[in-house]
Amino acid sequence: MDISTFHKKIFSISNTTDFKKLALELFNYQANHNVFYKKYCDLLGCKVDKVKNITQIPFLPIEFFKSQKIICEKIKPIHYFLSSGTTSEKKSVHYINNLNFYEKNCLVCFEKFWGKINNYCFFCLTPNKNEAPNSSLVHMCNLFIKKSDHLESGFYLNDHDKLLYSIKKVQRKNIPFIILGLSFAILDFAEKNDTNLSGGYVIETGGMKNRKNEMIREKLYQILKEKFKIKSIQSEYGMTELLSQSYSLKNGEFKSPPWKKILIRDKQNPLKINNSSSGGINIIDLCNTHSCAFLATEDFGILDKNKFKVLGRLKESDLRGCNTMI
């Protein structure tokens, strides 16, 4: 399979048939060229040539990124993304062979739901690129800052006074702005500063681990809406092990780009897909061409047509989300 040609096909997907065709093509490639994924498929007794539907594809448990090098043969990584966690905790490592492709995907994913990126000024509440060079979230934030074409765009995690000044400045100019970042950081800013975010948006990316008591998304939304005096809070759903992002524009209902598909695995049989009920979230991300595109996450959720909700974490799973990543 020619990876460059496949990349071009991904962004031209227009229907379910296109997606299924490319998903099966990528599965055949990875089941034969990703050594660890091949072993996993063999252990499950999966006959690659017999798989004719995406629901038959084995989904690799995402925790293997913590102990195995998940990458296809002959792929030479140039970078890696590292998940968050305490210093004593084993972290996931996602080896990357093409940062330009990751960046293009981030931009296309964002603009599919939000419109042109240079329409917005970005205030990012995450560490900066020097502090967290291997964070996929920070890499994305840095990209958005560079592409926004606004001088006020930047990292503001440790400078609330400057952030307040910049918010008021863009409000006077009627420039749409987005506060994008870790949930605990946005909550800290909201609790310490009484500010009206009129004309702006808040996109939380998860991440309460080791900082505050874990709270349900609805509670977080309620607090932030009251503190910021705005009607809605938005969210981004992504992770170290995936290259594509999903976005929620309201009510915690996430939508994904055409090359990323959410499936729900059965609560009683994790090898079976049951999209009619709540269960563990499985993800097909066709942009994971170099590693593994078929992952069983530790998140618990529910699917409703082309939208999904994250209801929490599966029992005994690590808490989801990033901390300061340094």
- Report domain extents, the chain: 1-326
Amino acid at position 42, single letter: D
Per-residue tokens: 84? 């968050």
* In the chain, beta strands by DSSP E: 60-61, 79-82, 93-96, 121-125, 154-155, 177-181, 200-204, 234-237, 246-248, 254-255, 260-265, 279-285, 294-304, 307-313
Residue 239 near residue 253, CB atoms below 8 Å: no
Q: What is the pTM of this model?
A: 0.93
Q: Which residues share a beta bridge with 300?
A: 280, 312
CATH class of 1-326: alpha beta
Length, in residues, of the chain: 326
3-state secondary structure of 249: coil
* Residuewise pLDDT in 10s, the chain (326 residues): 899 899 999 999 999 999 999 999 999 999 999 999 999 999 999 999 999 999 999 999 999 999 999 999 999 999 999 998 655 579 999 999 999 999 999 999 999 999 999 999 999 999 999 999 999 999 999 999 999 989 999 999 999 999 999 999 999 999 999 999 999 999 999 999 989 999 999 999 987 655 556 678 889 999 999 999 999 999 999 999 999 999 999 889 999 999 999 999 999 999 999 999 999 999 999 999 999 999 999 999 999 988 999 998 886 544 444 433 32
Could you give the CA distance from residue 76 to residue 217 in angstroms, rounded to a whole number?
Answer: 39
What would the pLDDT profile of 122-155 be if each residue is shown by its tens digit?
999 999 999 999 999 999 999 999 999 899 999 9
What six digits make up the tokens of 172? 């006077």
Residue 281 pLDDT: 97
Q: What does the longest C-alpha to C-alpha distance in the chain come to?
A: 63
Other CB atoms within a 10 A radius of the CB of residue 90 amount to: 13
**3-class DSSP state of 309:** strand
Q: Torsions phi, psi of 8, nearest 5?
A: -65, -40
d(CA 123, CA 55): 40
* Whole-number Å distance between alpha carbons of 119 and 177: 8
Measure the CA–CA gap between 98 and 20, rounded to whole angstroms: 24
Q: Which residues contact 68 (CB under 8 A, 6 or more apart)?
A: 36
Please give the full DSSP string across 210-268, using - where no structure is assigned. Answer: TTS----HHHHHHHHHHHHT-S--EEEE--TT-S--EEESSTT-EE--TTEEEEEE-SS
- Which run of H or E residues covers position 27? helix 16-33
pLDDT at 305: 85
CA distance 109 to 155: 21
Give helix 136-147 / helix 99-114 axis angle, nearest 10°: 70
